[in-house]
Amino acid sequence: MKKLLLFLLIPVFILAYRIDIQKWNKFSTFYGFLKQNSLPYSIYYNLPAKLKRYVRNIAKNETIFILRENNNFKEALIPINSQKQLQIIKNNNKYFTKIIPIIYNTEEKEVKVTINSYLSYDLYKATHLSILTNKIINIFNDRVNFRTLPKGTTISIIYDEKKRFSEIRNVKIVFAQIKNRFYSVNAFLNPIDNRYYDEKGRSLRGMFLKAPLRYTRISSPFGMRFHPILHKWRMHDGVDFVNKIGTPIHSVADGKIIYKGWIRGYGRSVEIRHKNGYMTLYAHLHGWPRGIYVGKWVKQGTVIGYLGNSGLSTGPHLHFGVMHNGKWVNPLKLKNNVKITLYGKKRRRFFAYIKQFTKENNINIALK
Ligand SMILES: [Zn+2]
């Protein structure tokens, strides 16, 4: 027995290959990298111009793999973007470079966490992944109030870990469930459109974002008010959000831009038409990003302007209005009223998918 053990250990000692893992920190330059690893500068000079530009801009914290044989450099792999890496090979004392795809391997993982302290802490403790928390909040934000999660809430997640060697590069949540004694919300990633839907085929995301911007406060709500400039009682048919000039303004829903320009009183504005008889107005803008024009289709979240002070305005703010079937409605009251639901062929394909998925993963949910 002892003999056998010794025999098994020998190959480990005579193994001459070693992989070094180096981090590309913010002080690294490609020259610095070559110098540190005793590689000739000619590697850089001989690169095509386009590649030179890439290697001068390698993102900080990228992971470099270096293979050595008997302490001699054999090969290096340096990622230049999320898909491609630069390979440097030493052969007969000559160096060769090549661009090759980065090979990722995907591993499916499962985790179930009971929230005892708070979401980010408990999720991190169970998975050692800090990005999961944000992803979960993003998926469920329109359905679940994360500030008031009841005691004993459990979160189950099935996710794919995308790895380059041993390093986790990305995480894709394919299923998640938040459950407590008051409610249970399920989110399936629909492979057809990459959006999350529940077991009834309703989108987890409301039709509207909660607000079109990050704001510091609301200076004027929807309703009657004494107008600060006109000094008269007037109906305020929108909501005024305050923040700094230049704050990006996002379209609150998918739609088509139907107006871009100056509106009396409102200043620089954008109007977007959405499904189900909705129209939104973004006013007092400072300006618009490039590529915003009448007729353009925008997605929920697209930046359509920047907060400003144009038109009849007492200070930098966004006037945000929502019209439904020709009538102004309170933008703060509609956030989750309308759900995007799958219909027809898309719905059948989604249900075929989740039927299979729940069976394979032993998930016990009543499907419609
Ligand atoms: Zn206003």
Q: How far is the CA of 314 from the centre of ligand 1 (A)?
A: 10
pLDDT of residue 338: 52
If you classify domain 105-206 with CATH, what class do you get? alpha beta
Q: What fold characterizes domain 16-101?
A: Nuclear Transport Factor 2; Chain: A, (3.10.450)
Q: How far is the CA of 329 from the centre of ligand 1 (A)?
A: 13
C-alpha pair distances (Å), 171 with each of 123, 138, 260, 301, 356: 14, 14, 38, 22, 22
Which tens digit of pLDDT belongs to each residue from 210-254?
A: 789 989 999 999 998 887 777 888 889 999 999 999 999 999 998
The listed CATH number (3.40.50.10490, 2.70.70.10, 3.40.50.300, 3.30.70.1350) that belongs to domain 217-337? 2.70.70.10
Which tens digit of pLDDT belongs to each residue from 320-358?
A: 999 999 999 999 887 555 567 888 999 999 999 999 999
Q: How far is the CA of 298 from the centre of ligand 1 (A)?
A: 23
Q: How far is the CA of 230 from the centre of ligand 1 (A)?
A: 13
> Which residues does 174 contact at the CB level (< 8 Å), separation at least 6?
108, 158, 159, 160, 188, 189, 357
Q: How far is the CA of 235 from the centre of ligand 1 (A)?
A: 10
Token representation of residue 330: 């309170």
Q: How far is the CA of 283 from the centre of ligand 1 (A)?
A: 8
Q: How far is the CA of 320 from the centre of ligand 1 (A)?
A: 7
Q: How far is the CA of 218 from the centre of ligand 1 (A)?
A: 10
Q: How far is the CA of 231 from the centre of ligand 1 (A)?
A: 14
Domain assignments of the chain as residue spans, ordered by start = 16-101, 105-206, 217-337
Q: How far is the CA of 138 from the centre of ligand 1 (A)?
A: 29
User: Is the Cβ–Cβ distance between 189 and 350 less than 8 Å?
Assistant: no
Residue 62 pLDDT greater than 50, yes or no: yes
